Amino acid sequence: MGRSKTAKFADNAANRHLLQPGKPLFNKLKGKWNKLYFHNDNDIVLELACGRGEYTVGLAREFSDMNFIGVDIKGARIWAGSQQAAKENLINTAFLRVHIQNLKDYFSNHEVSEIWIIHPDPRPKNSDERRRLTCPRFLDMYKQLIKPGGLMRLKTDNTGLYQYTMEVLQNRPDVHILNATVDLYKSTLLAEHYNIKTKYEQEFSSGGNMIKYIKFYFKGHL
């Protein structure tokens, strides 16, 4: 039997890889992740809606000269990645348990080099558009956080979210779309995913659905 939610939350409280309210460093890291947490000057990459943090852990194993931070609000999910990071002593990882819409409280402008958004909730209702992680207000925030030319990547199984995001991006004069595919597993772009599949994707793609992927950057900066 797996660990209970209560046990996971106790693990989270004790895990130095997990930053959440109550932790000593939690409110001190804005603009200081390199100095106070990673103790290096390496690039910082975010995985948003990280769930169990498969990309954060997987990319951290591949790139020991970069830093990776998984962001999600659900403590019982983020537990998995942060436990794995602790087990492997992946010192180039962190997990941040906050609402993504509040990222500006935790990162300074241009503090981040790259952002991956992995299987975010599609939020198909029109009334939920503002909650989609690729809606204009979220893109405006990412543009402030990311360094000039920093890569943005979206991976999704959801056709509606893919089409919506393409439309939003194509309507923005400040965005350059580098690549977009509706079938990642038939694309050469698959190589840049290092065989990483999230739990959600493993469950979803067993149904044979196609995974979509968009890579873009912001042309102009504030």
Ligand X SMILES: C[S@@+](CC[C@H](N)C(=O)[O-])C[C@H]1O[C@@H](n2cnc3c(N)ncnc32)[C@H](O)[C@@H]1O
Give me the residues that bind ligand X (CB under 6 A), please: 49-52, 72-74, 77, 99-101, 118-121, 198-201
Q: Which residue is nearest to ligand X (CB)?
A: 51
Which CB, 87 or 99, lies closer to ligand X? 99
Residue 121 annotated to the active site: yes
Please give the helix or strand (H or E) that residue 5 lies within, else none: helix 5-14
Which of the residues 41, 65, 72, 121 is marked catalytic? 121
Which CB, 9 or 42, lies closer to ligand X? 9
β-bridge partners, 215 = 153, 179
- Nearest approach, Cβ of 221 to ligand X (angstroms)? 24
- Nearest approach, Cβ of 180 to ligand X (angstroms)? 19
β-bridge partners, 217 = 176
Which strands make up the sheet holding 67-71, listed edge to edge?
A: 18-19, 93-96, 67-71, 44-48, 112-118, 146-156, 212-218, 175-181
| Whether the Cβ atoms of residue 120 and residue 161 lie closer than 8 Å to each other | yes
- Nearest approach, Cβ of 140 to ligand X (angstroms)? 15
Which CB, 26 or 200, lies closer to ligand X? 200
Which CB, 42 or 210, lies closer to ligand X? 210
Which CB, 35 or 62, lies closer to ligand X? 62
| Whether the Cβ atoms of residue 161 and residue 168 lie closer than 8 Å to each other | no
Residue 138, by phi and psi: left (phi above 0), alpha (psi -120 to 50) or beta? alpha
Please give the helix or strand (H or E) that residue 166 lies within, else none: helix 159-170
Q: How many beta carbons lie within 10 A of that of residue 101, not counting itself?
A: 14
Measured CA distances, 122 to 12, 90, 112 (Å): 27, 31, 24
d(CA 64, CA 15): 20
Catalytic positions, written as ranges: 121
